[in-house]
């Protein structure tokens, strides 16, 4: 078994979420190459410590997200910008991830898991959870603001819960009306059908406009269409990556003070803030579990969109 190098730990994996981003490593190599073990929503038990690791002990239950740990020495780290560390491994993309029984992780990327959270529920929160949590926290809004969550899927069903428990006037935006009642059960105060973008914008404006729209859908076009539904000085926060651009007019930027921003997951300490909030307020991902031996089938279920809403491997 591989021993951890200096500054690393070895984890005995207890759960690993399957994220759509995993496709970047699953399909990056032909079958004739070994490739990288996917998985960046990992919860495990530390069973070996490398030299120089402090603050963690054998038996600790920890998580590892997409950002695998900052180096502490590059220019970004020296300025305290650990998110953009130039020497940060990307779990499951540039280094082996959690679709396994054991994995090696950099200690600076570890996240403490609250005792009240079971491993299978905690795993998706390390990526999907912190992504939507940070999008709202960093969106410049206060409790009582109107926050709209576009998309009621793997990210969006968490975003609605976060916004509700943060005291926001929460609007869920989806295509069609099939998820309207479900969105209200999650905590949405209003549901907007985006099948007709113009009608969706009209509904948002009837509510006074959204102070923040968190775009979880991987579509620049659908996100762009909602900008007209932002209130003055409102923000479109994009967390669903896509190949098509987000388009915003200069008049929206200059005359209405609109901002268009993106948000990428979060630092380990922010992930611990996220998990503490989850434990306090009862935010929970809807998950389907599968054994490690059925990884291929579980991955295909995620990729097809049939999962409700996060697939989690439990070795």
Two domains, one topology: 8-127+266-314 and 139-262: no
User: How does residue 310 score in pLDDT terms, banded at 50, 70 and 90?
Assistant: very high
Instruction: Calculate mean pLDDT across residues 175-191.
Output: 97
Tell me the C-alpha distance between 203 and 221, whole Å: 19
In contact, 90 and 69? CB cutoff 8 Å: no
Percent of the chain at pLDDT exceeding 70: 98
Instruction: Calculate mean pLDDT across residues 88-99.
Output: 96
User: How does residue 241 score in pLDDT terms, banded at 50, 70 and 90?
Assistant: confident
Beta bridge partners of 102: 12
User: How does residue 25 score in pLDDT terms, banded at 50, 70 and 90?
Assistant: confident
pLDDT tens-digit readout, 272-286 = 999 999 999 999 999
- CATH number of the structural domain 139-262: 3.40.50.720
- CATH homologous superfamily of 8-127+266-314 equals Medium-chain alcohol dehydrogenases, catalytic domain (3.90.180.10)
Residue 262 backbone dihedrals phi, psi, to 5 degrees = -125, 155
Which among 83, 207, 62 is positioned nearest to 138, based on CA atoms? 83
User: How high is the pLDDT of residue 32?
Assistant: 57
Between CA 131 and CA 140, with CA 134 as vertex, the angle to 5 degrees is 140
Chain position carrying tokens 């388009």: 247
pLDDT tens-digit readout, 220-231 = 999 999 999 999
Tell me the C-alpha distance between 55 and 61, whole Å: 13
Tell me the C-alpha distance between 5 and 227, whole Å: 48
Instruction: Calculate mean pLDDT across residues 28-37.
Output: 70
pLDDT > 80? residue 27 = no
pLDDT > 70? residue 29 = no
User: How high is the pLDDT of residue 254?
Assistant: 97
pLDDT > 80? residue 296 = yes
User: How does residue 212 score in pLDDT terms, banded at 50, 70 and 90?
Assistant: very high
Residue 239 backbone dihedrals phi, psi, to 5 degrees = -120, -15
In contact, 150 and 215? CB cutoff 8 Å: yes
DSSP string, 154-171: TTHHHHHHHHHHTT-EEE
N-to-C CA span, the chain: 17
pLDDT > 70? residue 33 = no
Domain chopping of the chain, boundaries: 8-127+266-314, 139-262
Assigned token pair, 147? 């926050």
pTM confidence score:
0.95
Assigned token pair, 174? 């989806």
């Amino acid at each position: 078994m591989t021993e951890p190098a200096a500054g690393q730990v070895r984890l005995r994996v207890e759960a690993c979420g399957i994220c759509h981003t995993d496709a970047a490593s699953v399909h990056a190599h032909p079958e004739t190459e070994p490739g990288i073990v996917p998985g960046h929503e990992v919860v495990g038990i530390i069973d070996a410590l490398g030299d120089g690791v402090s603050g963690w002990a054998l038996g600790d239950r920890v998580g590892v997200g997409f950002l695998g740990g900052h180096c502490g020495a590059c220019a970004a780290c020296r300025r305290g910008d650990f998110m953009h560390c130039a020497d940060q491994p990307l779990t499951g993309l540039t280094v082996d991830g959690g679709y396994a029984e054991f994995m090696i992780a950099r200690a600076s990327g570890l996240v403490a898991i609250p005792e009240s959270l079971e491993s299978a529920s905690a795993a998706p929160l390390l990526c999907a959870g912190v992504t939507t949590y940070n999008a709202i926290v960093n969106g410049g809004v206060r409790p009582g603001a109107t926050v709209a969550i576009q998309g009621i899927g793997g990210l969006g069903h968490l975003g609605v819960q976060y916004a509700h428990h943060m005291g926001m006037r929460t609007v869920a935006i989806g295509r069609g009306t099939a998820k309207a009642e479900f969105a209200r059960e999650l905590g949405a105060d209003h549901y907007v059908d985006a099948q007709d973008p113009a009608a969706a914008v009209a509904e948002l404006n009837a509510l006074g406009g959204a102070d923040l729209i968190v775009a979880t859908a991987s579509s620049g076009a659908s996100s762009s269409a909602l900008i007209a539904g932002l209130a003055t000085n409102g923000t479109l926060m994009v967390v669903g990556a896509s190949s098509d651009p987000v388009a915003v007019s200069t008049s929206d930027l200059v005359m209405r003070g609109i901002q268009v921003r993106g948000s990428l997951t979060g630092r380990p300490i922010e992930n611990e803030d996220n998990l503490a909030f989850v434990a306090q307020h009862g935010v929970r991902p809807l998950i389907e579990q599968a054994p490690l031996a059925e990884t291929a089938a579980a991955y295909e279920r995620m990729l097809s969109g049939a999962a409700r809403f996060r697939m989690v491997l439990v070795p």
